[in-house]
Amino acid sequence: MSDSRTAIAQARRTVVKIGSSSLTGTDGRLNVPALEALVAVLAERRDAGHEVILVTSGAIAAAIAPLGLPGRPRDLATAQAAASVGQGLLIARYTAAFADHGLRVGQLLLTAADTLRRDHYRNAQRSIERLLELGVVPVINENDAVATDEIRFGDNDRLAALVSHVARADALVLLTDVDGLFTAPPDRPGSRHIPLVRGPEDLTGIEVTARGTAVGTGGMVTKLESVRIATASGTPVVLTTAGNARAALAGEPVGTYFTPTGKRTTRKRLWLAFAAAPKGRLILDEGAARAVQGGLASLLPAGVLDVEGAFEAGEPVELVNPAGKVIARGLVAYDSADIPALLGRHTSYLRARLGDGFDRALVHRDDLVLLRRGRKRAPANADAPAGGDGERTRPRAEAGVVPTGAIR
Ligand SMILES: Nc1ncnc2c1ncn2[C@@H]1O[C@H](COP(=O)(O)OP(=O)(O)O)[C@@H](O)[C@H]1O
Ligand SMILES: N[C@@H](CCC(=O)OP(=O)(O)O)C(=O)O
């Protein structure tokens, strides 16, 4: 795991996100010179043999002036209409700007559902992979025109982090209107620049606001969530201004560098930890909770006290300890309707009473991601299935990921 900027300079594949604040002039129109300057930097990066994926905001901002809107629309319907108009203008500009450097772009408009549902996630993954193989620069934005309030990011910061996962990027560069993280909003007297963040402990006492610029969304709060998603799974992040994009990609000390805090993990686990929308909850007894937290044991029905929600086998659920804290997420192996009859029962009993299909774990350890670690490692015998009398399992290393919470 690298704690130096060379990780950015040497990244084979980099996701670069540019925010609305950097693409919009004071008149509210799309800042075309800023867009072209970024494209020149990305084209250089491509020429140097690196892959780039661009996550770009600016669709709504681009439509403010053409539609004669007084400012960023607050209601969903107008925001959607503006995005529909603005996205066309935005991608036309990118297509022309990249063409000047002999490069083609491919547009991907994603909704939160594309990172929430595994089949959608895989589709996005396949498209990005193929575009890169074809030498195309993927240009990604949220599909604002169809995203509804319940299922949308709203900002592009978290989308960029999830795109980094989907694409297995080696680095994430967030470009905004401030040169990195400050101890408090930068216009506050006495606010100081922070060049390096090595983990959550370095963020103690930092004051960030969710209020973005007039055109941006989410402010620094969503940027730090984005950072948390990326760094927890091994992706280093630089946060800086659009004007510093070239220097940031070259590994120069601009903005704020966030070192990775966790290891790369499987896509399934990333999806489960950061993107999946849980469909229900399994309430674990003390022993099962400890075993799951200690060594990532499979969860058997004997260790479960209660089930909440309506879900089908294969859907994501939260695993909750007796104190009500969510400790893990997993893909459940049974429909919710079948689970009450299994609760508290040992596998041998279930196999004898209900047949062979009912001796499997409620959540298999391979389908589980730990969100909250136990205070210490589990004792030697806790690597058996949680709540279980079944097969013994090996304890496994876990990424130690921390979830972002529900995605808006
Ligand atoms: N601690 C902080 N450090 C740096 N910027 C901060 C902080 N807290 C709030 N901000 C604000 O976050 C804003 C950037 O967010 P936003 O407008 O959403 O940008 P973008 O459109 O690029 O995503 C900055 O203009 C800055 O005022
Ligand atoms: N998808 C929206 C982007 C929303 C937005 O402004 O996000 P951000 O640049 O992260 O503040 C658009 O294209 O207008």
Which has the minimum average pLDDT: 178-182, 299-303, 342-346, 396-400?
A: 396-400
Same domain, 358 and 337: yes
The residue to mutate among 54, 56, 60, 213, having the most atoms of ligand 1 within 8 angstroms of its beta carbon, is 213
Average pLDDT (239-258) is: 98
Asked, for residue 316, whether it belongs to a domain, the answer is yes
Residues 90 and 216 in one domain: yes
389 within some domain? no
Residue 406 lies in a domain: no
Contact assessment for residue 173 and residue 240, using Cβ atoms and an 8 Å cutoff: yes
The alpha helices in 296-405, defined as continuous H runs, are: 347-354
Whose Cα sits closest to atom 4 in ligand 2? 155
Domain final residue, candidates 269, 299, 317:
269
Q: What CATH number has the domain bearing residue 346?
A: 2.30.130.10
The number of folded domains in the chain is: 2
State the pLDDT at residue 149. Answer: 62
Please state the pTM of the whole predicted model.
0.78
Is the domain of 183 the same as that of 300?
no
177 is in an annotated binding site: yes
- Kindly state whether residues 200 and 330 are assigned to the same domain: no
On whether both 222 and 297 belong to a single domain, the answer is: no
**Which stretches does DSSP call E strand in 43-164?**
51-56, 105-110, 137-142
Q: Are 369 and 359 in contact (CB under 8 A)?
A: no
Is the CB–ligand 2 distance for residue 58 below 6 Å?
A: yes
Task: Identify whether 388 is part of a domain.
Answer: no
For residue 402, tell me if it sits in a domain: no
Q: Are residues 245 and 288 in the same domain?
A: no
One domain for residues 146 and 163: yes
The residue from 238, 269, 300 where one domain ends is: 269
Report the distance separating Cα 336 and Cα 277, nearest Å. 16
pLDDT above 70 for 17: yes
Give the dihedral sign, CA 336/341/347/352.
negative
CATH number (domain holding residue 25): 3.40.1160.10
pLDDT at 265: 74
Residue 255 belongs to a domain: yes
pLDDT at 371 (0 to 100): 80
Mean pLDDT, residues 260-267: 81
Cβ(116)–Cβ(43) below 8 Å? no
Q: What percent of the chain is modeled with pLDDT above 70?
A: 86
Split at pLDDT 50, 70, 90, the class of 243 is very high
Q: How far apart are CA 68 and CA 114, in angstroms?
A: 32
Domain shared by 114 and 36, yes or no: yes
Kindly report the backbone phi and psi dihedral angles of residue 61, in degrees, each rounded to the nearest multiple of 5, phi listed first. -60, -40
Ligand 2 atom having least distance to the Cα of 142: 1
156 lines ligand 2 (CB under 6 A): yes
Has residue 118 got a pLDDT over 80? Answer: no
Q: Which parts of 9-156 are beta strand (E)?
A: 13-18, 51-56, 105-110, 137-142
Six token digits for residue 269: 């686990």
DSSP 231-272: HHTT--EEEEEGGGHHHHHTT-S-SEEE---S----HHHHII
The one-character DSSP state at 307 is E
Instruction: Say how many C-beta atoms besides its own lie within 10 A of residue 16's C-beta.
Output: 26
Q: How far is it, in rounded angstroms, from Cα 106 to Cα 162?
A: 18
Residues within a 6 A CB radius of ligand 1: 19-22, 57, 176-178, 181-182, 184-186, 206-209, 212-213, 216-220
Structural domain span for residue 106:
6-269
- Is residue 221 a known part of a binding site? yes
Per DSSP, the residues of 178-232 read SSSEESS-TTSTT--EE-EE-SGGGGTT----S---SS-SSHHHHHHHHHHHHHH
Give the least confident one: 155-164, 294-303, 374-383. 374-383
Distance 303 CA to ligand 2 centre (A): 44
Query: Ligand 2 test: best mutation among 217, 223, 224, 239, most atoms within 8 Å of CB?
Result: 217
**pLDDT over 50 at 400, yes or no:** no
Q: What is the average per-residue pLDDT within 103-116?
A: 86
- The CA distance from 152 to 125, in Å, is 19
pLDDT for 198 beyond 90: yes
Name the strand (E) or helix (H) holding 34. helix 32-47
Distance from the alpha carbon of residue 99 to the mean position of ligand 2, in angstroms: 24
Q: Does one domain contain both 139 and 243?
A: yes
Nearest-angstrom CA–CA distance, 198 and 40? 31
* Distance of alpha carbon 202 from alpha carbon 397, whole angstroms: 25
Q: Of 216, 248, 269, which marks where a domain is finished?
A: 269
The ligand 2 atom at the shortest distance from the C-alpha of residue 144 is 1
Q: Could you tell me if 295 and 307 are in contact, meaning their C-beta atoms sit under 8 angstroms apart?
A: no
Q: Examine the domain organization and report whether 114 and 179 are in the same domain.
A: yes
- Selected residue with higher pLDDT from 289 and 277: 289
Question: What's the token pair of residue 66?
Answer: 């053409």
Q: Which amino acid is at 186?
A: P
Residue 363, C-beta contacts closer than 8 angstroms, at least 6 positions apart: 282, 298, 299, 317, 319, 330, 331, 332, 333
Whether residues 302 and 255 fall in one domain: no
Q: Is residue 25 part of a domain?
A: yes
- Do 25 and 101 sit in the same domain of this protein? yes
CA dihedral 8, 10, 16, 18 (to 10 degrees): 50
Mean pLDDT of 396-401: 26
Position 380 confidence tier, pLDDT thresholds 50, 70, 90: very low
Does 240 carry a binding-site annotation? Answer: no
Instruction: Looking at the CA of 157, name the nearest ligand.
Output: 2
Q: Please check whether residue 42 lies inside any domain of the structure.
A: yes
Residues in the chain: 408
* Per-residue pLDDT, 379: 34
Model pLDDT, residue 148: 66
Residue with tokens 């996630």: 121
Please give the Cα distance from 377 to 207 (Å, whole number). Answer: 33
